[in-house]
Amino acid sequence: MFKGGMAGMMQKAKQMQEDMEIAQEEIKLLTCEGISASGSIKITLNGEYKVTNINIDDSLLLDKEILEDLIMLAVNDASSKINSASKDKMKNVTGGLNLPF
């Protein structure tokens, strides 16, 4: 009986590992848009936290310091969204277990 239980546990662990690999590939394909200044700045990040697009309204090009701050806010917004989506996807795979990835 112990061997059957151990084999079942090993099969479940293997399935979880395969599901995690699939989820990690899906996470790489995610994109999230970070927004600041009521949509005047939009920055898109992919699941690997790489910027894939930046859109800045022309009216913001006159003040460098404000523009820098708004870009930072938009990147942080997008990063937070990717992080949250990644956690949700991994939570589905792990059944809510808080595993370090």
Per-residue confidence in pLDDT tens, the chain, 101 aa: 455 688 888 888 888 889 999 999 999 999 999 999 999 999 999 999 999 999 999 999 999 999 999 999 999 999 999 999 999 988 888 776 666 55
Helix axis angle for 2-29 and 64-94, nearest 10°, is 160
Residue 100 lies in a domain: no
Residue 42 lies in a domain: yes
pTM (predicted TM-score):
0.77
Print the domain residue range for 36: 2-94
CA–CA separation, 83 vs 32, rounded Å? 10
Q: How many domains are there within the chain?
A: 1
**What CATH number does residue 64 fall under?**
3.30.1310.10
